[in-house]
């Protein structure tokens, strides 16, 4: 790969694709050329980026000739990623298609950047809920070794895409105006409501989002012994996921010690003001790359228990920013 790679963004019209473009510009990511790819229904549209007009092209198996790096997302990624690799590109994939493939590194740069060098053409971006939980848990795991994690997530509408965000806005307007609320994107009313994450429920009663958190954590931490359980829920928030995390560690770690660790950790911001009852909120983590951590306290139900509340923008660090960070490391390895 070149130091100034020829780049393609696959799924460019989606919420993550749009955010990815913004982050490429913010971080001054180097590229020799940029190709914008999407499904047939978006092909032919013009898109402005960095004072230039780009024509969105339909993504096909032949779209990757001369491309060095692909940022992939959307439903078309699974079918086309292998064609990009065959054409000589490295794919940073933001879908769930390749995450648990043993041949594909699953990477959070603050945790396992060394895995990037093991790629065989595809590097997977973890699930947004996994990233938001693990960035602040990793410093604790390194020092005290986490044995068990219990997670409860409060996931924004944006996790289901730009159309779900729009549905939340429209439902809120209709509800307050006394009009019937329409459900077209999400299975239940999201305005003024909370419901179990809208992914398929397995025979064991866990939904796919919860299973992802379990499996991905083990892979990223390189620790199959760690015990994890999760409950994932949609809440009427436009953007940024929050999570209540309860961990049990092998070694004792006080809230003050954890706070000190996290204050120095990359990608983490401690917001933990008990006196003012001021802790992480999705309203404030929207547009931020750091994962905010607060409510640090002892969990007295286990020997070495620690509880916390975290919040992070799942479109940025939970998706687009993490992908760009992976690509930045990839370029440095050349």
Look up tokens 């983590």; give the residue.
285
Q: Are residues 221 and 283 in the same domain?
A: yes
Residue 232 annotated as catalytic? no
DSSP string, 225-289: T-EEEEEEEE-S-SS-EEEEEEEEESS---HHHHHHHHHHSTTEEE--BTTTTB---HHHHTT-S
Band (1; pLDDT cuts 50, 70, 90):
low
CA 218 from chain centre, in angstroms, equals 16
Q: Are residues 121 and 146 in the same domain?
A: no
Band (220; pLDDT cuts 50, 70, 90):
very high
Q: Which helix (H) or strand (E) covers residue 217, if one does?
A: helix 208-221
Rounded Cα–Cα distance for residues 270 and 47 (Å): 38
Q: Which of 110, 111, 76, 112 is nearest to 94 (CA)?
A: 76
Q: Are residues 196 and 306 in the same domain?
A: yes
Q: Are residues 162 and 310 in the same domain?
A: yes
Residues 32, 6: contact at Cβ < 8 Å?
yes
CA dihedral (182, 169, 285, 277) positive or negative: negative
Q: Are residues 160 and 237 in the same domain?
A: yes
For position 15, which CATH number holds? Answer: 3.40.50.720
Q: Which helix (H) or strand (E) covers residue 257, if one does?
A: helix 255-264
Q: Is the pLDDT of residue 169 over 90?
A: yes
pLDDT tens digits for range 173-204: 999 999 999 999 999 999 999 999 999 999 99
Q: Across residues 35-49, what is the average pLDDT?
A: 92
Give the bridge partners for 123, in sequence order.
92
Q: Global pTM?
A: 0.95
Q: Give me the catalytic one of 119, 128, 197, 232.
A: 128
For position 275, which CATH number holds? Answer: 3.30.360.10
Domain span at residue 178 reads 130-314
Q: Are residues 37 and 163 in the same domain?
A: no
Q: Is the pLDDT of residue 40 over 90?
A: no
pLDDT tens digits for range 273-322: 999 999 999 999 999 999 999 999 999 999 999 999 999 999 999 999 99
pLDDT at 75: 77
List % helix, strand, coil for the chain (3-state, nearest 5): 35, 25, 40
Rounded Cα–Cα distance for residues 55 and 68 (Å): 19
Q: Give me the catalytic one of 6, 141, 197, 241.
A: 241
Q: Are residues 151 and 297 in the same domain?
A: yes
Rounded Cα–Cα distance for residues 247 and 314 (Å): 22
User: Per the domain annotation, does 200 fall within a domain?
Assistant: yes
Phi, psi of 330 (to 5 degrees): -55, -45
DSSP string, 26-44: HTT---SEEEEEE-GGGTT
Using alpha carbons only, give the angle 300, 304, 307 rounded to the nearest 5 degrees.
Answer: 60
Instruction: Count Cβ atoms within 10 A of the Cβ of residue 329 and give its class: 0-12 exposed, 13-18 middle, 19 or more buried.
Output: middle
Rounded Cα–Cα distance for residues 68 and 88 (Å): 7
Residue 88 in tokens:
């000589």
Beta pairing class for 227-234 and 195-196: antiparallel
pLDDT, mean over the chain: 96
Q: Are residues 220 and 83 in the same domain?
A: no
Q: Are residues 108 and 20 in the same domain?
A: yes
Q: Are residues 224 and 266 in the same domain?
A: yes
Q: Are residues 224 and 100 in the same domain?
A: no
User: Per the domain annotation, does 21 fall within a domain?
Assistant: yes
Rounded Cα–Cα distance for residues 253 and 299 (Å): 11
Residue 128 annotated as catalytic? yes
Rounded Cα–Cα distance for residues 187 and 244 (Å): 24
Which of 5-9, 70-74, 141-145 shows the lowest mean pLDDT across its residues?
70-74
Number of domains in the chain: 2
Residue 198 in tokens:
């809208």
User: Per the domain annotation, does 1 fall within a domain?
Assistant: no
Q: Are residues 120 and 178 in the same domain?
A: no
């Amino acid at each position: 790969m070149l130091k100034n790679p020829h780049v393609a963004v696959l799924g460019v019209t989606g919420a993550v694709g749009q955010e990815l473009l913004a982050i490429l510009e913010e971080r001054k990511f180097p590229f020799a050329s940029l190709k914008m790819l999407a499904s047939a229904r978006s092909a032919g549209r013009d898109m402005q980026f960095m004072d230039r007009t780009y024509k969105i092209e339909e993504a096909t198996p032949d779209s990757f000739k001369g491309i060095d790096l692909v940022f992939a997302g959307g439903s078309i990624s699974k079918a086309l990623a292998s064609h990009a690799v065959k054409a000589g590109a490295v794919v940073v994939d933001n879908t769930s298609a390749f995450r648990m493939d043993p041949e594909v590194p699953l990477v959070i740069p603050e945790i396992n950047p060394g895995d990037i060098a093991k790629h065989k053409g595809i590097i997977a971006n973890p699930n947004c809920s996994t990233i938001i939980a693990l960035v602040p848990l990793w410093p604790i795991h390194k020092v005290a070794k986490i044995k068990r994690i219990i997670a409860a997530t409060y996931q924004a509408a944006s996790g289901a895409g730009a159309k779900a965000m729009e549905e939340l806005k429209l439902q809120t307007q209709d509800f307050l105006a006394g009009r019937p609320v329409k459900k077209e994107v999400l299975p239940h009313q999201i305005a003024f409501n909370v419901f179990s994450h809208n992914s398929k429920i397995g025979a064991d009663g866990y939904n796919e989002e919860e299973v992802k958190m379990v499996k991905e954590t083990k892979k990223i931490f390189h620790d199959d012994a760690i015990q994890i359980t999760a409950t994932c829920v949609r809440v009427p928030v436009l953007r940024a996921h929050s999570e209540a995390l309860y961990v049990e560690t092998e070694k004792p770690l006080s809230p003050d010690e954890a706070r000190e660790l996290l204050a120095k950790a990359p990608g983490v911001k401690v917001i933990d003001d008990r006196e003012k009852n001021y802790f992480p909120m999705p309203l404030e983590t929207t547009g931020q790359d750091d994962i905010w951590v607060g409510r640090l306290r002892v969990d007295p139900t286990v020997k070495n228990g620690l509880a916390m509340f975290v919040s992070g923008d799942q479109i940025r660090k939970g998706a687009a920013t993490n992908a760009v960070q992976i690509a930045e490391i990839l370029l440095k390895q050349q």
